[in-house]
């Protein structure tokens, strides 16, 4: 079993964003928030490098508590330490964000290197043309029923061609 590793690319935060709302500001770095999907209240503590910009946006009204068209989470920010984005409340993010897995299985080659990721029920992301062909021809036709049986079948198909299925724990 593989351990899920989030690279903090922020792609899921665009769709999760509308489901994380700020109910009120407690001080310039703490917010009383709601995770709409499970209707859970949580306290968001903003990481030091982001608290000023978020507090400024909050005070200037750029962060609106009632904006219906909000697409991206207010706490999704440009990564100050590198490329891409970062969650400004990573340590205090809500449970739905902690539980989210954007892939459910890794596919490894003969050397153990990751050569594909399975997302959703049975979509494969890979640059490996042969693996993609195998997937399209032999895995996609399998009905997505019970996960354990599907995984066992897929692992067998991959193993015959020298790949290893490594489900996320």
User: Which residue ranges make up the site for ligand SF4 (CB under 6 A)?
Assistant: 6-13, 16-17, 20, 73, 75-76, 87, 89, 93, 97, 100, 102
- The distance of closest approach from Cβ of residue 120 to ligand SF4 in the complex, given in angstroms and rounded to an integer, is 12
Nearer to ligand SF4, 5 or 146 (CB): 5
Nearer to ligand SF4, 22 or 154 (CB): 22
Nearer to ligand SF4, 155 or 168 (CB): 168
- The distance of closest approach from Cβ of residue 1 to ligand SF4 in the complex, given in angstroms and rounded to an integer, is 18
**Pick from 3, 140, 135, 139: which is nearest to 127 by CA?**
135
CA distance 16 to 38: 12
Residue 99's Cβ-count burial label (10 Å; 0-12, 13-18, 19+) is exposed
Strand runs labelled E in 19-163: 20-25, 30-35, 40-45, 76-78, 85-87, 105-108, 114-119, 123-125
- The distance of closest approach from Cβ of residue 147 to ligand SF4 in the complex, given in angstroms and rounded to an integer, is 19
- The distance of closest approach from Cβ of residue 118 to ligand SF4 in the complex, given in angstroms and rounded to an integer, is 13
């Amino acid at each position: 079993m593989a351990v899920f590793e989030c690279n903090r690319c922020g792609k899921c935060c665009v769709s999760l964003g509308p489901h994380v709302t700020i109910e009120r500001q407690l001080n310039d770095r703490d917010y009383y928030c709601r995770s709409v999907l499970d209707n859970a209240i949580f306290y968001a503590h903003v990481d030091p490098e982001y608290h000023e910009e978020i507090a400024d946006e909050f005070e200037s009204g750029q962060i609106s508590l009632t904006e219906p068209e909000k697409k991206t989470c207010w706490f999704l920010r440009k990564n100050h330490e590198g490329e891409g984005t970062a969650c400004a409340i990573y340590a205090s993010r809500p449970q739905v964000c902690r539980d989210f897995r954007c892939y459910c299985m890794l596919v490894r080659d003969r050397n153990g290197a990751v050569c594909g990721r399975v997302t959703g029920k049975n979509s494969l992301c890979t640059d490996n043309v042969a693996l993609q062909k195998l997937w399209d021809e032999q895995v996609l036709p399998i009905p997505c029923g019970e996960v354990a049986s599907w995984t066992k079948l897929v692992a067998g198909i991959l193993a015959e061609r020298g790949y290893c299925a490594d489900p996320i724990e």
